[in-house]
Amino acid sequence: MCGIIGYIGKKHNVTDVLITGLKALEYRGYDSVGIALWNEDMFKLIKSAGKISHLEDKIRKEGNMTSQMGIGHTRWATHGEPNDTNSHPHRVGNVTLVHNGIIENYQELKEELIKKGYHFASDTDTEVIASLLDDIKKNKENYLEILQELTTRLRGSYALGIVFDQDKNHLYALRKDSPLILGIGDKENFIASDIPAIIPYTKQYILLEAGEIARLSEDGIDLFDTSLKPISKKIQQVNWTMEQAEKGGYSHFMLKEIMEEERVLKDTILPFVKDKETLLSKMPDLKKYDQVHIVACGSAMHAGLVGKYLIETYANIPVTVEVASEYRYKKNFYTDHTLVILVSQSGETADTIAALRLAKESKVDTLAIVNVYGSTIARESDQVLYIYAGPEIAVATTKAYTLQVAMLSLVALTMAINHKQMKEEEITMLLEAFQNLPEILGGLLEKQESYFEIAKMLDGSEDVFFLGRGVDYALAMEGSLKLKEISYIHSEAYQAGELKHGTISLIEKNTPVIALVTDEKLAEKTISNIKEVKARGAKVILVTLESLDRDYDFCDQKIVLPVVPPFVQPILVMPPLQLLSFEVARRRGCDIDKPRNLAKSVTVE
């Protein structure tokens, strides 16, 4: 977690660049924040627990500080509580640095440094890195060699921005397993954890790889490999506009991102679905695989559950879906015909990266479904399918989830074709259904006010249940996560038939139950289960299809979805529920884009 920004140059005010970058990176963590600025003859630290506005107040009190180099950090605490001392940058001797990641051997290094006389003010692993650098510096003068030695001593993940008082013309950066990019300007250069932090200043950047060291000056960037041999790297071009990275007139990023779903669905799926030949030429060849593991975390795992349903139902291939943090430590069964699919918006989720590496060590083929171009999962997987969601800033994923489901649907269709499980007429009909889907989704989003109206039913509720069978259960899990993570209402998703095996005891008068009935084959069964909760006093919000819409006496509110072929139906279910959750959280006054305790990209185990 955590966000890093660094700047060297005279074209812009350093403090402004750092604050702008930190605001763009706040999604990576927002419990404390800090900057270090070159000021006269040393780096001056200004740090604060809480939001960036607190830091801005402190900076204002310091008065005008002219500088031509600085580093900044927004934190998501891993070692020690979020307070001023634990926040970054950390400074020991003449070394000042910011860090994203976790140093696994920090305790052992700390003990060694304590024996050498070092004292530690914070609880962080980062202060240990600063002390270690200070210690290495005692026997070496060349900064590159100092950093090279540092990399041999650290175990774990890190992206580091480092400055030395005696070398005020250079900013150093290095990384392993945590992301870091280098922004290239004209007479100014940047380091950042992610692209939105540099977009206002430059669209050109370099991806720093594990083990590489970057030395930035006002005039350029020198890159070195692990043996300190100078290297040159491809310059990448950002294809996002600043406007895409901002709220675009919406009150919240989450709302903006939900309302973008029609466009991003078009961008992502239309290039694949012109006809069967186009689909097969753009998709990987999946003929070889007779077993699939889908591995992901959170909402991406929920998207995987929909993928499982589709691949098993239509391609007739068994699929397991596992949470990455479990998969990486359990026994997995592979054959030469196993495909491991990793699903991740950020492409930087630590557990999913570990699962990917595990599969690769076992020589199993891997396919990633990722949003962020050039992210670790995208780079390390054998094959990548990008979803084109653009930047997703709200911590709760919405458009990326919808696109993950859509991309997994295309994978399922490809597998069904590759394994000769589908007739030509059905393939043609489904490709047409995919083509029409973005517009139908757009029509659903236009009804946002009606979902906002239904959201009022959850005023004052502290427990909500989501029910569904089959694929509706997979969708219920995501609906429930969306609601609880942003509104802080306790919510559980249950298989409709399972509730009566215990949990139904929690249903009392006016407990809201959101029941999903979008699979015609299972509708009757689920409706019986809904009647069971209604009989115990539940308030029911039914999510169903136009074809199943009746004047039911058991439902208090309804969200009715247009009927599309069952294969693509799941793609339409979540957007209304995302809008419903958004409004529930808004009515409760929650910090929707940055829910408490969460971070957008979980880059620690």
Q: Return residues touching ligand M6R (CB under 6 A).
A: 297-300, 344-346, 349, 352, 395-397, 485, 598, 601-602
- Half-sphere exposure (CA, 13 Å, Cβ side) for 343? 32
Rounded CA separation 537/506 (Å): 11
The closest residue (CB) to ligand M6R is 298
**Sheet holding 95-100: strands in order across?**
90-92, 95-100, 158-164, 171-176, 213-216, 221-224, 230-231
Rounded CA separation 181/93 (Å): 27
Chain length of the chain: 605
Cβ distance to ligand M6R smaller for residue 86 or 404: 404
Rounded CA separation 595/487 (Å): 8
Cβ distance to ligand M6R smaller for residue 102 or 223: 102
Question: Tokens representing 130?
Answer: 């600063």
Could you tell me the smallest distance in angstroms from the CB atom of residue 569 to ligand M6R? 22
Cβ distance to ligand M6R smaller for residue 280 or 598: 598
Could you tell me the smallest distance in angstroms from the CB atom of residue 314 to ligand M6R? 24
Rounded CA separation 70/39 (Å): 9
Among candidates 71, 77, 2, which has minimal Cα distance to 38? 71
Rounded CA separation 416/407 (Å): 14
Q: Tokens 């350093």 appear where?
A: 14
Cβ distance to ligand M6R smaller for residue 295 or 540: 295
Could you tell me the smallest distance in angstroms from the CB atom of residue 348 to ligand M6R? 7
Query: Is 473 within 8 Å of 518 (Cβ atoms)?
Result: no
Could you tell me the smallest distance in angstroms from the CB atom of residue 600 to ligand M6R? 7
Cβ distance to ligand M6R smaller for residue 75 or 302: 302
Q: Tokens 């408490």 appear where?
A: 596
Cβ distance to ligand M6R smaller for residue 182 or 342: 342
- Half-sphere exposure (CA, 13 Å, Cβ side) for 532? 18
Q: Tokens 């995501």 appear where?
A: 478
Q: How far is C-alpha 46 from the chain's CA centre? A: 29
Among candidates 177, 158, 180, 174, which has minimal Cα distance to 222? 174
Active site residues: 2, 600
Rounded CA separation 433/598 (Å): 36
Could you tell me the smallest distance in angstroms from the CB atom of residue 285 to ligand M6R? 26
Could you tell me the smallest distance in angstroms from the CB atom of residue 250 to ligand M6R? 18
Cβ distance to ligand M6R smaller for residue 9 or 347: 347
Furthest-apart CA pair in the chain: how many Å? Answer: 81
E-strand stretches of 345-387: 365-370, 383-386
Could you tell me the smallest distance in angstroms from the CB atom of residue 260 to ligand M6R? 16
